[in-house]
Amino acid sequence: MTPELKQRIDDIVNSDKIVVFMKGTKLMPMCGFSNNVVQILNMLSVPFHTVDVLEDEAIRQGIKEYSSWPTIPQVYVNGEFVGGSDILIELYQKGELQQVVEVALAS
């Protein structure tokens, strides 16, 4: 990964409290896993920013290296990688995601 791409991803990850790298947009997810993440965050009624990786191949590949996580979507809260669709579902079902998000939005 080039230093420029790493800086670009750093800037995106830190631009909002909750950032989702996904296929498509929050209004039109382009895969089921991305849709799962959008639905969960919508159920929590929290603001979140999305980045459509289908529009930028450098970001699409770079985010996987950035997080050492091979799949998309990827969710970041307060600049920290939380996980993908399966992890978000699990955290939501345990009630832990709500806590993580509340702490992030309060900070």
Q: What is the CATH number for 23?
A: 3.40.30.10
Domain of 87, in residue numbers: 3-106
- pTM for this structure? 0.94
d(CA 2, CA 23): 23
Neighbours of 75 (CB within 10 A): 25
pLDDT > 70: what percent of the chain? 100
Q: What is the mean pLDDT of residues 81-100?
A: 95
CA distance to 17, 18, 19, 42, 95, per residue, from 103 (Å) = 10, 11, 15, 17, 13
Confidence band (pLDDT; 50, 70, 90) for 107?
Answer: confident
Counting the structural domains of the chain, the total is 1
pLDDT tens digits, one per residue of 14-65: 999 999 999 999 999 999 999 999 999 999 999 999 999 999 999 999 999 9
